[in-house]
Amino acid sequence: MLKPQLSLRSQFSSTSSTQTSSFLLHKPFLHGNGNRFTSLPIFSMQNSFHKKNKNVRIAFVPGNIKAVATSSTEKPTSVKAIVTVKLTVGGFLSDVLVLNKDDIIDWLGKTLLLELVSAQLDPKTGLEKETIKGYAQQTSHDEGEVKFVSDFEVPSDFGEVGAIFVENERSKEMYLKDITLNGFPNGPVNFTCDSWVHSKDDYPYKRVFFANKSYLPSETPKGLKRLREEELITLRGNGEGERKTYERVYDYDVYNDLGDPDSSDDLKRPVLGGKEHPYPRRCRTGRPSSDKDPLSEKRSSNVYIPRDESFSEVKQLTFSVKALSSVLHALLPSLEAAIVDSELGFPYFTAIDSLFNEGVDLPTPKKAKNKVSLLNILPRLVKAITDAQDDVLRFETPETMDRDKFFWFRDEEFARQTLAGLNPYSIRLVTEWPLKSKLDQKIYGPQESAITTEMIEREIKGFCSVEEAISQKKLYILDYHDLLLPFVSKVREIKGTTLYGSRTLFFLTPEGTLRPLAIELTRPPFNGKPQWREVFTPCWDATGVWMWRLAKAHVLAHDSGYHQLVSHWLRTHCCTEPYIIATNRQLSAIHPIYRLLLPHFRYTMEINALAREALINAGGIIESSFSPGKYSMEFSSVAYDQQWQFNLEALPADLVNRGLAVEDPTAPHGLKLTIEDYPFANDGLLLWDTIKEWVSDYVNYYYPNAMTIESDQELQEWWTEIRTVGHGDKKDESWWPVLNTSKDLIQIITTIIWVTSGHHAAVNFGQYTYAGYFPNRPTIARTNMPSEEPSDEFWTKFLRKPEGALLQCFPSKIQATKVMAVLDVLSDHSPDEEYLGKAIEPAWAETPYINAAFERFNGRLKKLEGIIDERNANRDLKNRSGAGIMPYELLKPFSEPGVTGKGVPYSISI
């Protein structure tokens, strides 16, 4: 089969060397509604190119490609364009051994048509200059990349090349990495593309790529002004129709695609976004409405995201999104087939240990050409057993458990993890006493907490009174009472789960550690029964000790749900998507702020789309395995409505708001922590300051005064759209920052970058380390407390074997293993992870000042690594150092691949 193809290829090569072909005329640039702008000067010029330019010669010789546009007066510059195309799965050259139209195009040297665009207007006509066209011919095929070359003769009066049009002549899209123009006297002109270029068969309009030099709108060279504006129109689209996979349209929609009412009435979910359920906006797909619910969007297996937001085919096969997709679509169905009884729990703690020793046998799909063993997809999770017919899901032992098998059992670890664990965002200072609810007491019962002064003073006897503890900032709380209580009655109607509102109090000891004092669990009036609530404290009798352990399990389930749905999903993934949409709609690709933000937005929309498809959807992992159940996303909407403020997403403001810091101009970072040994805050503030210094250097270079900020129309429209559309349900809030000065912009950009890097890393990459052994962080509590209206039989069983009651309260076997598998992948760094400040963006490197600022940024991040190591070695810092204690490394900037519990990527990439 290969020989005829090879011989045919050589025939094409020999014949094409003697043929010539005229270039195709330039097709008009795309407007948002798809109309042609034939009336614009540039298009009329191109249609009369040969008539008006008698001294210009354009020729094409396939064997030696050269585009020529010469002037009769001065010698032109010979320029070589080098185009780098990345090989992709199912994309360019995937079918190179099959003779088809694309092979013929390649052999003729017509794979890519390039057009050089001058940044200057014609001084005589005041119109845009003619583009210089040329086909690029393949010259090399290295591992993972293909190089194309085209030669141009550029007239001396052509001016600076500011953009390039690219047309893909093949029938399949290709991933264009970059283009370099060599031969100009002032050095090469670089174009960083990193973009999918559609086939002209799909979309008959050429792509435009701008050179790496950045411009504010007012500074845009006149030859690029129209292209800058029209490219933004293209990216905004017209808000109509269902989006196609090859499109790059960024638009907004509400979360109306989480439910699936067409499959089942039980899978119908309310729309998130709007007055009833405020929420950030997501990317519009344009899918039709479902048949049974006109407010819901039909679900489909492929969720549209703008084409350049999907990079998984370009990145290595170990890329985390691909791994997560494999877990959701291959591993979890196998688990469900292996564990038929969804309510089956763990009879003994040794059965939990067996997940790390023997593992779970998974039925392997029947061998077929399109079936791949799970072992090949997820080698870390799925182990091979010699001669076994099935794959085995065997979990790695989390480092926390490896250091101390009973870490999860200890009260001091329960408290320490509020400062240095997965969710360091919930602990708050107690400022008022007694504790009171803000909920309607007619519906939910008494507002005043059942935790009394006497209870607390009994626990802290010898230290101080409650009044002194509050005045000295020694009393702290995890308060999920008001957020959860409205959901308790609804969640309790779901089979196999329960819920309470909860308050947990801690005391700051003289050693700087937290000591748990009391847990209050509350059930509102329910099914004709009055409110039930009880306070549990550390005890010195057997029954009280086990009741305390069960109460901790409930609180941990509440904290796990809040962590995943609010601290993680809502505050990072969900709230960032409107920033991404607005940035692409309102900031040109040559805007310096666009280029500053770009690495912090990579891959986020792809992972968010996958989450909507299989994680946060009706019946997905979150709903089936976390405390709020089918009301999980409604719960996150309530948290967004009641708690989220953009200005408080800045780390210093968040700490002050929670009472964990007070402003102090004389202190480092301008803050004094109320808990001095607060690992997340201490490391986070260093990282925050490092990011802010880099952003300040960058912003001040491009915006030397307030006038440049106020007059930047793209920037102002960007900030307006984020506030009024992307987060439109909060558009009238008074806390939104204004954007009038460089100081305003620096704070806004630093906040966005912190959320996508430091905040996300702190709540994501330690998930398997801390929750891989699920008794440490159960995601759901399945049974009520034994003291809540127990039957004689239940109470007798509890007294006879309290360990069984705890195991029964924990997640079921299928719930636990599903969550563990997902957390393993979410915590994993792929080998090609892009860490904050490690590698400079090409566009940044071209400006010496920005390049030097980035080098300082990189140096400060490396210094931060050393500071964190020193802190973890300091025995006086007991919240991050001690016997069996995990060092706090979640904000160490860099990491090796794998589940490491450290490393801060640029973006929310998983």
Active-site residue set = 568, 573, 760, 764, 910
Hey, what are 820's tokens?
């563990």
For strands 671-673 and 661-663, give the pairing: antiparallel
Strands (E), 605-704: 661-663, 671-673
Distance CA 459, CA 470 (A): 15
Structure tokens at 242: 């269902």
Report cis status (omega within 30 of 0) of the bond before 4.
Answer: no
Q: For residues 375 and 371, what is the distance between their CA atoms, to the nearest angstrom?
A: 12
Task: Quote the tokens at residue 540.
Answer: 């010195």
The H or E element that residue 516 is part of is: strand 514-523
Which amino acid would we find at residue 761? A
Element of type H or E holding 64: none
* CA pair distance 860, 700, nearest whole angstrom: 19
Nearest to 118 by CA among 129, 126, 110, 134: 129
- Per the CB < 8 A criterion, the answer to whether 766 and 759 are in contact is no
CB distance 484 to 498 below 8 Å: no
Q: Is 852 exposed, middle or buried (0-12, 13-18, 19+ CB in 10 A)?
A: exposed
Sorted by sequence, the CB contacts under 8 Å of residue 187 that are 6+ apart come out as: none
Identify residue 546 by its one-letter amino acid code.
W
- Residue 203, both tokens: 């979309």
CA angle, corner 256, sides to 255 and 258, nearest 5? 85
CA dist 117 → 26, 130, 200, 210, 321 (Å): 12, 8, 20, 9, 37
Which residues in 268-282 are b (16+ Cβ under 10 Å) and which e?
bbbbbbbeebbbbbb
- Taking the C-alpha atoms of residue 347 and residue 825, their distance in angstroms, rounded to an integer, is 27
Alpha helix (H) ranges present in 192-283? 222-236
The whole-angstrom distance between residue 264's C-alpha and the CA centroid of its chain comes to 30
Residues ≥6 apart with Cβ < 8 Å to 290 = 260, 261, 262, 296, 297, 298, 299
Q: Look at strands 671-673 and 145-154 and give their pairing.
A: unpaired
Our CA angle for 720, 722, 724, nearest 5°, is: 65
149 membership: H or E segment, kind and range:
strand 145-154
Sign of CA dihedral 821, 825, 826, 828: positive
